[in-house]
Every structure is written in C-alpha cells, then in structure tokens.
C-alpha cells in the first residue's frame, strides 16, 4: 500500500477523476456488499503518549471500487504541530491508510458511467488526552476538497517542490505543438 505524504497524486489533475467532498460519494458509490468500514487502530508504538490525533487522508476510489493513492492532506495532534518523535505522523498515516485500504465500494446501479473518485476521510485517534471527538475531528476536517488540493499544489509550487523549469519546458513544448500545422512533418533525425 503506497502512502504519499503531501499533495495528492497526479491522478487528481486527470479530468477523468471526480473530486468529492467527504460524505458526498453516496450519489455514485455505495459500500460493497459484505464490507464494513474498518476503523484505524491507534499505533501501538505510540500508545503510551496518549495523544489525541486526527488525520485527513485523501484517497481514490478506483473504477473497481478499491481504494488507493492515500495522501495525508491535514493532520493535528494534542501534542502540537511539530513531530514529537521520529515516525510519529507516519505511524498515524499508515494506520489510517491500512484501514482505508480495507474499504471497498461498488457503483450504485443508477450512477451512470463509473468514474474514479478522489475524496477524503477524517480519521480520529483518541488517545485519552481529553479532546472531545467532534472537536478532534474539527481540527482536520476539510470542507472543500477541490480548493484544499489547489492550495496545496500552489504551496508546493511556491516552495519549489515542483520542478518549475521542467514544467515551463513542457508548457513551451505544448505551445510549439499547438502552433505547428497538422500537415507539417517533424524534421528528419540527424545521424
């Protein structure tokens, strides 16, 4: 199971993937027969810390109803924003991804064409720090997934995580292809 830290995968940019806010997939998808929604298990190696943690985990429901492309979109801990110990955030993200990987869906009969769907699940890990579950969930809930994904993409661009030069080269190549007349053949290769 792959877990991507940071921004959603390139699949989200693909126009053949629908973006749906949490709790809104019911118009196209339903839980597969015989499937229950597995809940994440608090990571055993962090249990004695007793922190309350939430993770907003993005995922894609593939055309066959399986889940994948897990992406941490937001996280919060009663211990603060900094990672208290190495592997802390990864442990919670992996626990969430393991639960979501067990989720299986099937298209509703009246859903029309089956289109993969990128959505989000807000997962809570109650360690006993005293944060009420609705408040805990509120720290990670994403109300507008499409906007959140765009903001994350913009932040990555501003930080330079996306190779700007490569992106600019690809854009220039695309513009050159659009300007080239259709009947014009590419020049012969040099030997």
80-109 pLDDT per residue, tens: 988 889 999 999 999 999 999 999 999 999
Q: What is the DSSP letter of 47?
A: G
Residue 187 has pLDDT above 60, yes or no: no
Task: Note the pLDDT of residue 164.
Answer: 58
| C-alpha to C-alpha distance for 61 and 124, rounded to whole angstroms | 21
50-74 pLDDT per residue, tens: 999 999 999 999 999 999 999 999 9
| C-alpha to C-alpha distance for 166 and 184, rounded to whole angstroms | 26
Share of the chain above pLDDT 90, in %: 62
Task: Note the pLDDT of residue 165.
Answer: 56
Which stretches does DSSP call E strand in the chain? 3-5, 18-19, 29-31, 53-61, 67-77, 105-107, 117-125
- Higher pLDDT, residue 53 or 191: 53
| C-alpha to C-alpha distance for 52 and 31, rounded to whole angstroms | 28
- Higher pLDDT, residue 5 or 113: 113
| C-alpha to C-alpha distance for 83 and 77, rounded to whole angstroms | 9
With cut-offs at 50, 70 and 90, classify the pLDDT of residue 153.
Answer: confident
Task: Note the pLDDT of residue 65.
Answer: 96
- Higher pLDDT, residue 189 or 126: 126
- Higher pLDDT, residue 150 or 156: 150
Task: Name all domains of the chain by residue range, CATH numbers in brackets.
Answer: 3-143 (3.30.2420.10)
| C-alpha to C-alpha distance for 122 and 96, rounded to whole angstroms | 9
With cut-offs at 50, 70 and 90, classify the pLDDT of residue 182.
Answer: very low
With cut-offs at 50, 70 and 90, classify the pLDDT of residue 111.
Answer: confident
Alpha-carbon separation of residue 37 from 31, 40, 60, 67, 104 (angstroms):
8, 10, 15, 12, 8
- Higher pLDDT, residue 188 or 48: 48
- Higher pLDDT, residue 75 or 173: 75
- DSSP-based three-state secondary structure for 48: helix
| C-alpha to C-alpha distance for 188 and 191, rounded to whole angstroms | 9
Average confidence (pLDDT) over 173-180: 55
Measured in residues, the chain has a length of 191
Task: Note the pLDDT of residue 112.
Answer: 87
What is the Cβ-side half-sphere exposure of residue 23, based on CA atoms within 13 angstroms? 7
Alpha-carbon separation of residue 9 from 28, 37, 60, 145 (angstroms):
22, 23, 9, 14
Q: What pTM, to 2 d.p., does this model score?
A: 0.74
CA 154, 159, 163, 167 torsion-angle sign: positive
Average confidence (pLDDT) over 175-189: 48
What residue spans of the chain are helical by DSSP H? 88-101, 133-138, 145-159, 164-179
What is the Cβ-side half-sphere exposure of residue 27, based on CA atoms within 13 angstroms? 9
């Amino acid at each position: 199971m792959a877990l991507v830290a940071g921004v959603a995968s390139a699949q989200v940019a693909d126009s053949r993937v629908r973006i749906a806010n949490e709790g809104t997939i019911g118009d196209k998808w339903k839980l597969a027969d015989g499937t229950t929604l597995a809940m994440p298990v608090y990571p055993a190696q962090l249990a004695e810390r007793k922190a309350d943690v939430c993770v907003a985990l993005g995922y894609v429901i593939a055309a066959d109803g399986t889940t994948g492309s897990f992406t941490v979109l937001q996280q919060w801990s009663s211990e603060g924003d900094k990672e208290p110990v190495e592997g802390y955030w990864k442990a919670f993200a992996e626990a969430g991804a393991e639960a979501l990987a067990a989720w299986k869906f099937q298209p509703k009969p009246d859903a029309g064409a089956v289109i993969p769907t990128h959505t989000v699940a807000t997962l809570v890990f109650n360690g006993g720090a005293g944060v009420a579950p609705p408040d805990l969930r509120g720290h990670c809930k994403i109300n507008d997934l499409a906007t959140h994904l765009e903001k994350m993409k913009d932040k990555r661009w501003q930080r330079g995580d996306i190779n700007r030069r490569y992106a600019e080269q690809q854009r220039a190549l695309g513009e050159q292809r659009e300007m080239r007349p259709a009947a014009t053949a590419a020049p012969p290769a040099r030997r």
